[in-house]
Amino acid sequence: MTFSGLEKIITSSGRRSISSSLLAYLLDAFDNGFDGIDLDSFQSNTGYIRTNITQVASYLKDKGIILIYYYRDQGDRNNRDFIEDNIFGRWGKQHYKLTSDVLRLYRRN
């Protein structure tokens, strides 16, 4: 992966601002010792519309930029089980992480 390749993916997402913001938030989270961010947190910090975020996240996942995990919110943020498939239905919450390719690109591996 290259920066110009990543830029093409972000531009092709159809929602460049959301894509760029999600990437920036994930890099900041990684730099601060977190493995990723929750959809709810990203939405509340940016004000972007949830449906647009999930569409962009799905696109970025398909392009190998992020990983999407699911969890069921049961109050304890320190005791969550993240899984790759949403078996929780509408109660499933999304959690985003950067792929190892992107972490290597930004020299954060």
Domains and CATH numbers, the chain: 3-105 (1.10.10.10)
- For the chain, report the end-to-end CA distance as a whole number of angstroms: 14
DSSP lists the bridge partners of residue 93 as 71
Are 69 and 36 contacting, i.e. CB atoms less than 8 angstroms apart? yes
HEC assignment per residue over the chain: CCHHHHHHHHHHCCCHHHHHHHHHHHHHHHHCCCCCEEHHHHHHHHCCCHHHHHHHHHHHHHCCCEEEEEEECCCCCCCCCCECCCCCHHHEEEEEEECHHHHHHCCCC
Whether residue 12 is predicted with pLDDT greater than 70 in this model: the reply is yes
24-76 pLDDT per residue, tens? 999 999 999 998 999 999 999 999 999 999 999 999 999 999 999 998 877 66
Q: 0.75 cut: is pTM over it?
A: yes
- Locate tokens 């449906």: which residue? 51
For residue 75, the model assigns a pLDDT of: 63
Are 1 and 101 contacting, i.e. CB atoms less than 8 angstroms apart? yes
| C-alpha to C-alpha distance for 44 and 104, rounded to whole angstroms | 28
